[in-house]
Amino acid sequence: MHASQPTALLLRLALREISDDAPCPALVELQQRATREVFDAAVALLPDEEPDRRELGLLLLRELGEQQLPGGRRPFSDEAIPLLRRRLREEDDPEVLRTVISALGYNGAREALPDVLDLAAHPHDWVRFAVAAALPSLVDPAGVEPAAADALLALSADDDAETRYYAFYAILLEVAGMDPTAVGLLATRLGNDPDAYIRSMATAHQAAITRLTARFRADPDEKIRTIATDHPEAIIEVRRLLNVWDYLGIHEVGKDTDEHDRLIGPLLRALADNLDATALQQVLDHQLRSPTDTWTEGLTTSLLGWWRTVR
């Protein structure tokens, strides 16, 4: 219905949608168009005096076109990110500021990480929540920056339960290179969290890591025993990457979903043998008994990139 409508009309409809907290077909159509006309219209809304109009401009820039470029970039990300960073400094409405942060995350704006970290202790829940949700898209995928790791740990102790949940979720499943001791202590603390979802996620993680560490430190393969003893963080990272990859489509946050755990031992051995990406993919082919082709490329690249930082 909206595909043939002019941009100016869709902008008016989209403004009404977000103002009424209604379904947003006009907004989605504009985001999918990803044309220069839509980009320019979004940019023109950023300094508007009305918060709803600024919000519309930000929502358009947040998801303008698909993330098909390296680093999670979109067609207009390179032009949008400097404007979003400026808006981050100038915006004083917490709800709109939340969308600025989100837009930076959706555009893979790693250069904006210091700007976003400056807001991790913002007095408004919405803003801190947005920081926790955006950080996984802003950090180094091979190993989280120390300042970002500290921010996630602090946000996992936030007064707001949703902020705690998103920060803890990021630590367990979305960022590489968190200190395993700090993660273990955090999971122990959050095992007593007042929020049931956080408690469930924490206790499932604790149980799985305790079980797996004991298993691999007693493994018949000496190389697996050694890596499990000398680099216990490898167990956490390999399991995290497998659950994010989730080739079976069965991982459920907050549950000890262990269907991927049979792959951890062979991948630990592959790390111990310093296999390259091609050989690592062959290990997965053998374990899965089917050709994995290029769809495991992200897993092998992430795992080897992380391993190079800790060896």
From the candidate CATH numbers 1.25.10.10, 1.10.260.30, 1.20.1250.20, 3.40.980.10, the one assigned to the domain spanning 1-136: 1.25.10.10
Q: Where are the alpha helices (DSSP H) in 139-195?
A: 146-155, 161-173, 180-190
Distance CA 238, CA 232 (A): 10
Distance CA 212, CA 189 (A): 20
What pLDDT does 251 receive?
A: 42
Residue ranges of the domains in the chain?
Answer: 1-136, 193-311
48/241: higher pLDDT: 48
Full-model pTM: 0.84
Task: Fill in the amino acid letter for 69.
Answer: L
**What three-state secondary structure class fits 235?**
helix
Residue 295's pLDDT band, with cuts at 50, 70 and 90, is low
Q: For the residues 240-250, what does the mean pLDDT come to?
A: 65
Report the percentage of the chain scoring pLDDT > 70: 91
Give the chain's radius of gyration (CA, Å).
22
What pLDDT does 241 receive?
A: 80
In tens, the pLDDT along 47-79 reads 999 999 999 999 999 999 998 788 889 999 999
Q: In the chain, what's the furthest Cα-to-Cα distance?
A: 68
What pLDDT does 256 receive?
A: 46
- Residues 177, 142: contact at Cβ < 8 Å? yes
pLDDT at 252 over 80: no
Q: What is the dihedral of CA 57, 59, 60, 65, to 10 degrees?
A: 160
Q: For the residues 266-282, what does the mean pLDDT come to?
A: 89
Q: What integer best gives the mean pLDDT of the chain?
A: 89
45/178: higher pLDDT: 45
Residue 258's pLDDT band, with cuts at 50, 70 and 90, is low
